[in-house]
Chains A and B, each alone.
Chain A
Amino acid sequence: MLQLSNISKIYRTKTIETTALHQINLDIKQGEFLSIMGPSGCGKSTLLNIMGLLDEPSQGHLLVDGQQINNYSSKSTSRFRNEKIGFIFQSFHLIPDLKVIDNVELPLLYRSISGKERRRLASEALDSVGLANRKAHFPSQLSGGQKQRVAIARAIVGRPKIILADEPTGNLDSVMGDEVMDILINLNKESGATIVMVTHDERMAKKTDRLVRLYDGAQVA
């Protein structure tokens, strides 16, 4: 599903050159639940951003669902990202001025789907994370765990093949973290979605199919 070949990412300024990722090779199968671990600043989020086509590698090739991505800022890449990839962020990134249902609908806005259908799909997604009764709430009226479940609903509403989760339990207590993790595991099992999760939490990482460790931008395990 995701093939990374010799992926490197180097940030350059006038005076300094920082290597964020060095020669990463990964082959992630369809339906796999992979976690990436490593200390802060080791390049986990950078790697996730490259997998999510939000950032370009300095070197190497990336194949997503068999398709090589060349122009990261093109319209077709945006459409591809919209259809294939769902994102979950540590800080939820819900739009505070939109109700829960409208936040969940967000990815569908960039598809040719009628308003009625969007609403139906968003409702279904919210049902699947147990938030059917919070549709008309604003994010500020939800707990951290609920916010993350809304973010999961938003990630799955477009039925993407890949879900990229950047420390989805990082801002949650252990109970809520477990709830969110259970939802992701069920999602992986039931829908067959490929999930790549960045985490600091060894306990959460152990629940996934495979663990990849990064250190100073390099893959160590």
Chain B
Amino acid sequence: MIKHILKLIWNKRGSNALMILEILLSFVVLFVILAFVFFNMEREKLPLGFDYEDKWRVSLDELYQQDSVVIVEAMTNLQREFRDMEEVKSVTFTKFMTPFINSVWQTSSDEHGFEIDVQVVMVDLDFMKTMGIQINDGRWFDEQDLSSEQDPVLVNQRFMDKYFPDKSMLDSTLMISGEHKLIGVLEDYRYMGEFSEPWAMMFVLEPFHENHHFAMLDMKDGTPATTEQEIVALANRYTNQTSCTVEYLEKERVDNNRDQWMMIYALMAICIFLCLNVALGLFGVLWYNISRRKSEVGLRQAMGAHGGDISRQFIAEMLILAGFALVIGLFFALQIPILNITEYDDSLFYKAAAYASVIILVLVFVCALLPSLQAARIRPATTLRED
């Protein structure tokens, strides 16, 4: 029977080509959207590596315009004042590489052909405690590191996995824009948010640096919003400015992710709309085909086909057409992981292709089911007389 159906499909290849094209295009759009969604979902599942709850960021934007001595003095005073506040658990000063700000400090080195690309984050001694950073191996900076001869650094786990997999490099010297002594490995610090690209990172100790623009505060749970005024007043006083602001990392995270979630929801909506469109299209075409082929259905029944044979035939025709479209679609889609066209994980594309194929097949089956069952109920005596 399959051979017979293939003959029918081949002999009607003109009209079937359009159907195959429609299913193929639907597969391509589904594949691309699902790959995008899975890609983002995979990223979203990766650990951020820091806490954002009860974390406040105080911007000290105009401080860097002042003399370095004044800056250090202002930061020292601010650190003391913030620490004295009952609601503040800890405080740290950083540059622009703070959570949910899309700012990058990147450096690279090439030592005898061994290339390393890293994002650099300048931190002080309290950064780990304030931001809730997890150390996987080694230790965080301590007081002795401030006077260490070799610049101590920490890296994230991704750095180790990328450049020194399955090796412990603790206490080794890393040649990245100078010599650095590796003292620890932290889990991660994906400060640009859940959907950001994971990077190899290096953490350099630079307390009270003149380019530090932000104070990060770890607040006690349930701190009232009125404390914000107190903090702004302190910051303005010690930095001699009037533009200090406080932002909540929890809210920043939501704002930062909103665009990406909107994009995902919009694409998912397109996906659903597309599926509905394809479903209605297939349903209509099949319904029309069956009404056009009523006499054929009657004839087949007269020749000995049972209702089940009729519905199976129409469903099989549609599934075979969908199969053709999927074979073509999969051929092109799977070139992406096979030829390593992108740097992304191959499994992403296999997964998207598999899901898109299953969705298309289920869609086609469901759309074919009702008209096919309807065809099975056609009375041969009526249709054979009609023609």
Contacts and interface: CB of A to CB of B under 8 A. Distances in A.
Interface of A: 45-46, 49, 52, 54-55, 73, 75, 78-79, 81-83, 87, 89, 91, 93, 95, 97-99, 102, 105-107, 109-111, 115, 138, 154, 158
Interface in B59-79: none
A76 B298 CA distance: 17
Given A45-B385, A78-B306, A98-B11, A93 B295 contact: yes
A188 to B, nearest CB: 20
27 contacts: A46-B381, A49-B381, A49-B384, A54-B302, A73-B307, A75-B306, A75-B308, A78-B304, A78-B306, A78-B309, A79-B306, A81-B302, A82-B303, A83-B304, A87-B302, A93-B298, A95-B299, A97-B8, A98-B11, A109-B4, A110-B303, A110-B304, A110-B305, A110-B306, A110-B309, A111-B304, A158-B304
A93 B306 contact: no
A97 B384 CA distance: 17
Interface of B: 1, 3-4, 7-8, 11-12, 295-296, 298-309, 379-381, 384-385, 387
A102 B12 CA distance: 14
A102 B4 contact: yes
Q: Which 10 A-B pairs have the closest CB atoms?
A: A82-B304, A55-B381, A110-B304, A78-B306, A49-B381, A107-B303, A97-B11, A54-B381, A54-B380, A93-B299
A56 to B, nearest CB: 9
Contacts of B3: 115
B300 to A, nearest CB: 7
A67 to B, nearest CB: 15
Contacts of A138: 11
Contacts of B299: 93, 95, 106
B377 to A, nearest CB: 9
Given A95-B296, A106-B300, 5 more contacts: A73-B307, A82-B304, A110-B300, A110-B305, A138-B11
Nearest to A55: B381
B306 A98 contact: no
A89 B12 CA distance: 24
B17 to A, nearest CB: 14
Contacts of B307: 73
A221 B18 CA distance: 56
A115 B12 CA distance: 21
A54 B301 contact: yes
B384 A106 contact: no
A206 to B, nearest CB: 26
A105 B300 CA distance: 11
Contacts of B11: 97-99, 138
Nearest to A164: B302
A59 to B, nearest CB: 17
Nearest to B8: A97
B162 to A, nearest CB: 58
Contacts of B305: 78, 109-110
B303 A54 contact: no
Most buried by A among B11, B295, B301, B302: B302
A25 B346 CA distance: 75
B387 A91 contact: yes
A45 B299 CA distance: 15
Nearest to A84: B304
Contacts of A154: 303
A79 B296 contact: no
A78 B4 CA distance: 19
B249 to A, nearest CB: 66
